[in-house]
A and B are shown apart, each in its own frame.
Chain A
Amino acid sequence: MRRLLPLVIVLVTGALVAKGWLRAGGLQVRAERSAGTAEQAVRSLMADVQAHNWDHAYATLDHANGIQESDFIHEVAGSDGSLRTYSVLQSFDLWPLHADADRSTVRVRMNWSSAVGSLDDLRDLSVVRDGNVCRVVWPKPNFPNVPLQVLPVNYLRWDVIGRRSDDWGAGSVDAPQVRITSMNAVERPDRVLILGEVENEDTVPAYLNVNATLLKPDGTAVEEQGSFDTISHRLLPKQVSPYRIDFPGLRLSQVQSVRMDVRALLVPASADPVISVENQTLGKDALGRKILNGALVNQSGEVVNIAQVLAAFYDSNGKVIWVSDGYVDQALLPQAPVPFAVNVPEDVATRVQSYRVVVNHYIAPTA
């Protein structure tokens, strides 16, 4: 009896641990980490990335291209406060593209759950056979190597100082003058969209919000929505931003008119950083979807942690027919091009005559 109780406790504990391991997907993870085939190798790698098991992930890679573990982690987990550093790999899908005796190609679509929503990352990974084991060839990251230099940064910044006077009419400063320069209502299968552009006409920076109210024929409101994050909220003098307002579940036939409302606030702002948008082209991604891609170049000296691309697409009459947005999950280091891509619906792409891209940015405050 004296030995039986500890034995029972050990057995029960062991059973509970095993049950927990099974329920946590231990068998699946173990299967994913065994790499007898190309798909299993990629699946194992993705499982390690999900679990942040970087040492094991790196160990299963093919090292013939000289990839370093730090570079691999740097690329997959992100760095410099980029959006990837605030993301986790939520799920992945993979399917083989090509296979022969020694080398295969597997396409993987990684779905990252990030601070701004889910982001897809599509990659074609080569897998080589090494004896009985398949190893993923992770392309060696090509990090920009900007030479050491001193970059003078002397752009303007605007501060708002002082306080309102209590004397009537004695000490007020008007809100910035902003104007909606175009507006277009578009119907999609699952929603109504209000698209257009807004300009800061003033000589001071503005923080603005664009709201739209859809009205019935009797003048009552159907629904009111704001542009949320599909707009550049902070506009410098004479800067133009596209905006898009989504009304899910509505049809244009339910709407008689639209009431637009733009509100602007006077805010402090800086003209730095300047981000150029280079080599923009309309094309297709690996899945055959229409995209607008290009590269962002941070022309200033400060690291931009998170960048958002907003693209306005125009038809032959210069009317805004679509507004897309997309986040870049890499940080924008000074002078280093970072690729971006935003989706364009197939039916819209055929009517696009021109387009214009602006960049929103977020810079983490320094300690």
Chain B
Amino acid sequence: MIVALKMIVTIRILVVLLAFPALGQSIAIRPPHTVIAGISFSVTTEGSGSATFYLLGPSHVVKKTIQLGQDLPISGSDVATSGLYQLVACDSSGCSSADLYVLPSSPERLSFLVHPSRVPVSTANAINATAVVSDRFRNTVVAPVTVMFHFSSADARPYSRSGPTSRGIAWLKIGSTTKQGPLQIVAAVGETSEARVIQQVASEACGLRMQATSEARSVRLRTDPVRDCSGNALPDGTIVSFTKVDDAGRSTVDTPLKKGVANAQFTLSGRARISVACGVVLGNEVSIAGQP
């Protein structure tokens, strides 16, 4: 790639140097000022006889023999990449050159990135959606276009936002909804759309409570269904920590949620204080009398 670019630069320098003697000569080429990528067009040439024509693009070089004084057709496939092109014609008397700017064609592709792939519910500005608009040749469409972002999840009404592109990129930040589950985000420009799905997951536990059932020398503990402040059940496997302090010392157990609740059992030695926590969230504390 680097070698090819060096070759192109070298050829351009040579061609420009060759073109200096032609100043004031009759050979000339007149392309349109701008063309659309992938669209064929013609270049007007002046002079007589045959000449060698060069089309020097950002990633493509064409060399052909032409007849001066005739329109020169350029195939759309030779200008698929947007950017600045240089056209040069040379005959025995010298060279003539002109510039041509190839613009991206209409938006036909979307590159779409949504971050993060998992997001806690009810979190402001947590979801970042970025769309890069390009034409069918993967040229970034730098002209402003409006990208529509459609959001839909199972338990909420779908809604949409729109945003203009800046240098081909449109982005927005939104907050997550209050319900956990998949959230589909579709970016659309005209007939083109691209979908991504992220997971909205339960946030920190809220109102964590446990019930204690005392037996002869032990106590069984069971939490109420563990939910976040929006009422979403924390996923099974989430760790809940129980701590008991009694005459025998401190006992702890980290137990995962199963079917939404956590269970534990401790033996008792005298009066015990038992607390529960999930991550950094503390739950209630119970005091229970056991046999010493």
Chain B nearest CB, measured from A361 CB (Å): 12
Chain B nearest CB, measured from A299 CB (Å): 7
In the bound complex, do residue A169 and residue B201 qualify as a contact, i.e. CB atoms below 8 Å apart? no
Residue A362, interface by CB 8 Å = no
Interface size class of B (residues with CB under 8 A): 35 or more
- Nearest residue (CB) in A for B130 is A169
- Nearest residue (CB) in B for A158 is B237
B residues near A202, Cβ cutoff 8 Å: 118, 201
B residues near A240, Cβ cutoff 8 Å: 241, 279-280
In the bound complex, do residue A181 and residue B280 qualify as a contact, i.e. CB atoms below 8 Å apart? yes
In the bound complex, do residue B202 and residue A203 qualify as a contact, i.e. CB atoms below 8 Å apart? yes
A309-325 at interface with B (beta carbon < 8 Å)? none
Chain B nearest CB, measured from A161 CB (Å): 14
Cβ contact of A173, chosen from B117, B243, B279, cutoff 8 A: B117
B residues near A277, Cβ cutoff 8 Å: 251-253
Chain A nearest CB, measured from B117 CB (Å): 5
- Nearest residue (CB) in A for B259 is A154
Residue B212, interface by CB 8 Å = no
Residue B224, interface by CB 8 Å = no
Cβ contact of B258, chosen from A154, A173, A236, A355, cutoff 8 A: A154
- Nearest residue (CB) in A for B279 is A238
> A168, A205, A274, A281: which has the most chain B beta carbons within 10 Å?
A274
> B243, B266, B279: which has the most chain A beta carbons within 10 Å?
B279
In the bound complex, do residue B250 and residue A203 qualify as a contact, i.e. CB atoms below 8 Å apart? no
In the bound complex, do residue B238 and residue A279 qualify as a contact, i.e. CB atoms below 8 Å apart? no
Chain A nearest CB, measured from B171 CB (Å): 12
Residue B158, interface by CB 8 Å = no
In the bound complex, do residue B252 and residue A276 qualify as a contact, i.e. CB atoms below 8 Å apart? yes
A residues near B248, Cβ cutoff 8 Å: 278-279, 281
Residue B256, interface by CB 8 Å = yes
In the bound complex, do residue A174 and residue B117 qualify as a contact, i.e. CB atoms below 8 Å apart? yes
B119-146 at interface with A (beta carbon < 8 Å)? 130
- Nearest residue (CB) in A for B246 is A279
B229-279 at interface with A (beta carbon < 8 Å)? 234-241, 243, 248-256, 258, 264, 266-267, 278-279
Cβ contact of A274, chosen from B116, B201, B243, B256, cutoff 8 A: B256
Residue A201, interface by CB 8 Å = yes
- A281-B250 contact given A236-B239, A274-B255, CB 8 Å threshold: yes
In the bound complex, do residue A156 and residue B112 qualify as a contact, i.e. CB atoms below 8 Å apart? no
Residue B100, interface by CB 8 Å = no
- Distance, CA A169 to CA B196, complexed state (A): 9
- Distance, CA A181 to CA B196, complexed state (A): 32
- A174-B118 contact given A199-B280, A276-B264, CB 8 Å threshold: yes
User: Which residues of B are interface residues toward A (Cβ below 8 A)?
Assistant: 111-118, 130, 196, 201-202, 205, 234-241, 243, 248-256, 258, 264, 266-267, 278-280
User: Which residues of A are interface residues toward B (Cβ below 8 A)?
Assistant: 154-156, 158, 168-170, 172-174, 177, 181, 199, 201-205, 236-240, 271, 274-281, 294, 299, 355-358
6 contacts across the A-B interface (CB closer than 8 A): A174-B115, A202-B201, A238-B205, A277-B253, A281-B249, A356-B252
Other 15 A-B pairs with CB < 8 A, given A172-B117, A240-B279, A278-B266:
A156-B256, A169-B114, A174-B115, A174-B116, A202-B118, A236-B238, A236-B256, A238-B239, A239-B239, A271-B256, A274-B253, A274-B256, A280-B251, A294-B249, A356-B243
